Each structure stands twice: as structure tokens, then as C-alpha cells.
Amino acid sequence: MRLTDYLDKGASLGAAAPCLTMNGHSSSYGEVQQLSWKVARALNRSGVRPGAKVAILSANDTLAFSCVFGIARAGAVWCPINPRNEAAENRDLLELFDCTCLFFQDAFAPLVAAIIDDLPELATLICLDGSTVPESIPFEAWIDGVSAEPWQAEPIDDIALLVGTGGTTGRPKGVVLTGHNIETMSALTLMSYPFGARPRYLALAPLTHAAGVLCFPVMALGGEIVVMPTPDLGEFVSLVQRHSITHTFLPPTLIYMLLDHPALASADLSSLQCLWYGAAPMSVARLEQALDRIGPVMAQLFGQSEAPMMISTLAPREHFDADGSIARKRLSSVGRPTPLTEVAIMNNDGTLLPAGQRGEIVVRGPLVMAGYYKNPEASAEAARHGWHHTGDIGYLDDDNYLYIVDRAKDMIITGGFNVYSAEVEQTLLAHPAVQDCAVIGLPDPKWGERVTAVIQTRAGHTVTAEDLRAFAKDRLGSVKTPKQIEIWADLPRSKIGKVLKPDIRAQLSGASRTHPDTTH
């Protein structure tokens, strides 16, 4: 399937039904379909041929997302560019992806102006809502006079989109995702979670990431997608009620903030069937609160850019045992491998390990990317021994539930013992004063590495390093208990809310300390 097939499928179920809604205005499936034909024809008129790479630099916006389908109709490849990236990172991505055309919002005109001279191949600039960059053309002028009659070009291959890996270490890589990858992901979504006729999906998280690709299975059912231009949890609660939202996605950090938001207590969220969470580990203690306060609708997913979203799933019903009680042990898992995906645990020499043993989580099947764009060495490294290597350490239990214990690069070796940061983080997150935390290893002359925790407290709560150390020691023992605990006002985060451990490590490594157990 091509990306346009999801839109066309939804239109076949009712062209007049609402497709994309933002700020109280809805575009029907038929209107989005017509716009996609115009965008495709205009791209062709601008010299964009099948196989060309076309980028979109925009905050969450229904017009920008509509252009995705025009790009696909032109046989071109969609390159989502995150507006929260630094200018240099976006320049690197546009250069790496060989982009010849860029759609952008005027709010990001300074960013575009700063990098355009370094990108001579970027021949066509289309501003979605203005034209303050001299080299650009306003969207309305660009499509003026273009027919809205059905038209599409034949693609040269199955590549649907290129996704940047983030670039937190060195230059970013480009993940090549095919139409078959997105088709597999969409099928796994529809078979793994509850869906009724015409779901209503609220997109608060960036459409350049998980929130965007989750739109495709919703559209296949003719559902409505309500887009939030900026994240606002009060407005989020209001929109769930106003539009009777059935599905949404939030990263754990925003779920924690939602649980503490005053609007939640009086909110009617009964329309929700599925609140997906993922992209980062979630506190089991806070997940239990969510099941109680939001409802039995929490739905976990585990994936990565290279195998989008659906490596394993934990549907709402699987958060509970047969007697209706919360399945507490299972909450710390990331669910079971999905039906079309093979998951195993591998040691360093390529041997697959039995249930209960820890090693790297490896994956194969039609969900896995085609490789890294123009990077055969990285592609071969990720696919060694015939499996895609996720970089996560974990294990499968006897019931085939998958547990992630750490990122391979985040495991701490202290005094000769392996300490998994995720286990320590889960313990600290169970403390009622802790909003979020990160655990890393820092060089230590005695222990090799010392377990180090950085804590963000919940609003209105205070706690000391000594209190947290005692709390952890009672539950983990002395080896795993952090020897250094810091309390910060906030933690450095990526554009999608992930805590940036390299930034924390850099800040702490650059500080001189006579006492490792400190707070600030």
C-alpha cells in the first residue's frame, strides 16, 4: 500500500466524513483527497519526479499533513523534519536525504533562511502560510490554477518515507521505511487494539513521530483525526470531551503531567478506548494511577524508527488479570511480540538465548526497515546475524512477555556487578515525590562506575538525597542503590520528551565534586 491508499480507503467509506480537524475547522475526506491531487500535480509542475525527496518542516498542522498525501501521489518520498531540531541538525538531514523540495511554515522562516545557502539541491521552497523567505513561494500561489482532478504518478520503488534517527551522537542516520513497513505497522495496530467504526484520534504529540504514523490505520477506518497545533494538557482534556475522542497517544512524561493536572478530576474521558503510551519507559506506579484515574484504556506499544511502533504490544485488557485485578508484574513488560514480528534475545556472538536470560532484543519480519539511507555499513551492522539489532537489553519470560531492562549503552558496571539503569529508575519512580528520573554510570576510582541518579520532583513535593537512597536501598540492596543523587528542577529532553542521558552525563562529568552525594 502507498500512503495515499489510507486516505482513499477512508474516502471510499464516506467522502463527506470529517478527516482532519484543527481549531474547530474540519476538512472532509473528499476535500483532503482533492487537495492531495492538486499538491501532486503542482509538485510535478515544479519538476518533482517520482523518487524525489520532499521534506515538510512544520508544527502539527492539518495543511502540512495533507501535503504528505500529495507527496505520495507524486511518487515522491516524504521526509518529516522536526521543527524542534537545531538548525544544523535539520540542515544535515535535508542534505543527507537529498531533498529537492521543502514545505515549511512561516514560523520557521528564520531556520530556513539560516540553512538555505548550504543546500544548493533544495530547488523548491513552498511556505504553507506566508512568504518571508525570498526564495520561497506561498502555498496558495503555488497551487493556483492547478486542477483538482484525480492524478498520481507511478513511484519508482516502495520507499514511503525517510526518518532521521535524532543525531544525539554524531550525524543522524536516515531510516528507510517502505510502504510495506507502514502497511505492516497499520495492520498490527488494527489487530492489536480495540477499534470501532470511525474512530476519533487526537494527535497532541508531534506528527513527525509516533503520532503521525498512527494516523494511517485510523484513516483506513474512515476515522477523524483531531490535530493539536501546540501541546496543552488542559485543551487536550477539553478536546477529548468535545470530540468524544476514542484513541490518542502520549509519551510517559505527558501522562505524568496529565495525572497531576487539575482538569483531570472533573473530566469525562469515558469515550476513550485506547490511550497509547510508549517512546520511553513508564513508571509502573504511575501506570497504576493512570489505570485508576483515566480508566482501563491504557495501551502500550514498543517500537523504534527502524521497526515502527509495533514490535510488541500490551493491549488495554492485558493490563488486568482474569479476575479484573491489575496485572502488576505484567505492567513492567512491553507486552508480547506482535503476530507478524519475530522477536528473540541474542548474546554477543549471535546465539539466541532461552526464556529468562538477558541479552540484546533482536527483531525480524516485514516491520523492519529497508536499511539506513546511503549508509551500507550501518545497515549491515544493524542486521548482523540476520536479525535487526534494537540496542535494547531485555528478556522474554515463560509467557512470551518482553521486558526491557536497559539500553545496551546504559548498563552500569559497578564493583564488577551489572546494574541496569531501568530497574533503578523504576524503583525511584515509585517514590511519591519523584516526577521523573534518569540513572547513569559515572567514572569512579573505587567502583569503576558509580550508580548516579538525577531526580525531578513532583510539583509541591520535596525530598532529600538521603530519603531517596534509603528508599532505594530497602528495595534494591546496596549495590544497585545510587551512590550519587542529584535533584534538578527539570531534566534535559529530546524533541519528543525522551530524557537525554548524554546531556546529563556531560553536565555531571564537567562538574568537580568532593562529595558524590549531593543535591541541587
Overall average pLDDT of the 434-462 stretch: 90
| Model pLDDT, residue 496 | 64
Highest mean pLDDT (candidates 131-135, 399-403, 425-429): 399-403
Least trusted range by pLDDT, from 53-57, 452-456, 504-508: 504-508
Digit-coded pLDDT (tens) for 175-223: 999 999 999 999 999 999 999 999 999 999 888 877 899 999 999 999 9
443 in the same domain as 391: no
C-alpha cell at 154: 507511478
Q: Label residue 26 by pLDDT band (50, 70, 90).
A: very high
CB 346 within 8 A of CB 385: yes
C-alpha cell at 461: 513535593
476 in the same domain as 367: no
Q: What's the one-letter identity of residue 189?
A: T
In terms of residue numbers, what domain contains 490? 411-509
Domain limit, last residue, from 407, 438, 461: 407
Domain limit, last residue, from 383, 407, 431: 407
Domain limit, last residue, from 385, 407, 429: 407
270 in the same domain as 138: no
Digit-coded pLDDT (tens) for 102-135: 999 999 999 999 999 999 999 999 999 987 888 8
* 185, part of any domain: no
Digit-coded pLDDT (tens) for 227-271: 999 889 999 999 999 999 999 999 888 898 899 999 999 999 999
pLDDT for 172 beyond 90: no
Q: Which residue has the higher pLDDT, 314 or 166?
A: 314
CB 347 within 8 A of CB 359: yes
Digit-coded pLDDT (tens) for 61-96: 999 999 999 999 999 999 999 887 788 889 999 999
245 in the same domain as 319: yes
C-alpha cell at 84: 524542534
437 in the same domain as 358: no
168 in the same domain as 89: yes
How many degrees, rounded to 5, is the angle at CA 32 between CA 26 and CA 37? 160
What does the H/E/C string look like for 123-170? Answer: CEEEECCCCCCCCCEEHHHHHCCCCCCCCCCCCCCCEEEEEECCCCCC
Instruction: List all residues 6 or more positions away from 376 whose beta carbon is below 8 Å from its beta carbon.
Output: none
474 in the same domain as 393: no
372 in the same domain as 328: yes
Q: Label residue 512 by pLDDT band (50, 70, 90).
A: very low
Instruction: List all residues 6 or more positions away from 131 whose beta carbon is below 8 Å from its beta carbon.
Output: 106, 137, 138, 141
| Model pLDDT, residue 400 | 97
Overall average pLDDT of the 281-285 stretch: 86
Cα pseudo-dihedral 159, 165, 171, 177, rounded to 10:
-10
* 36, part of any domain: yes
Distance CA 13, CA 70 (A): 20
Q: Mean of the per-residue pLDDT values for the chain?
A: 92
* 192, part of any domain: no
Instruction: List all residues 6 or more positions away from 54 whose beta carbon is below 8 Å from its beta carbon.
Output: 43, 48, 71, 74, 76, 77, 78, 79, 99, 100, 101, 102, 103
401 in the same domain as 441: no
Q: Residue 411: which of 325, 337, 348, 326 has the closest Cα?
A: 348
| Model pLDDT, residue 168 | 44
Alpha helices by DSSP H, listed for 193-317, are: 210-213, 215-220, 233-242, 252-259, 284-293
Strand arrangement of the beta sheet that strand 448-457 belongs to: 434-444, 448-457, 484-488
Q: Among positive and negative, which fits the CA dihedral 457, 459, 464, 470?
A: negative
* 302, part of any domain: yes
Q: Label residue 516 by pLDDT band (50, 70, 90).
A: very low
386 in the same domain as 433: no
pLDDT for 345 beyond 50: yes
pLDDT for 519 beyond 60: no
Cα separations in angstroms, 406 against 167, 410, 411, 426: 20, 6, 6, 11
370 in the same domain as 300: yes
| Model pLDDT, residue 422 | 84
| Model pLDDT, residue 445 | 81
pLDDT for 413 beyond 90: no
Overall average pLDDT of the 265-280 stretch: 93
Overall average pLDDT of the 469-493 stretch: 91
CATH of residue 282: 3.40.50.12780
* 63, part of any domain: yes
Overall average pLDDT of the 17-29 stretch: 97
CB 300 within 8 A of CB 314: yes
C-alpha cell at 67: 501535503
| Model pLDDT, residue 170 | 57
| Model pLDDT, residue 309 | 94
Distance CA 204, CA 189 (A): 19
* 56, part of any domain: yes
Overall average pLDDT of the 13-39 stretch: 97
pTM of the model: 0.86
Digit-coded pLDDT (tens) for 350-375: 999 999 999 999 999 999 999 999 99
* 212, part of any domain: no
Q: How many domains does the chain have?
A: 3
Least trusted range by pLDDT, from 59-68, 79-88, 308-317, 389-398: 79-88
C-alpha cell at 229: 497545533
Q: Can you say how many angstroms the Cα of residue 195 is from the centroid of all Cα atoms in its chain?
A: 21
* 163, part of any domain: yes
Helix or strand holding residue 179 (H, E):
helix 179-192
CB 71 within 8 A of CB 78: yes
pLDDT for 146 beyond 90: yes
CATH of residue 450: 3.30.300.30
34 in the same domain as 74: yes
Cα separations in angstroms, 330 against 123, 287, 304: 52, 11, 21
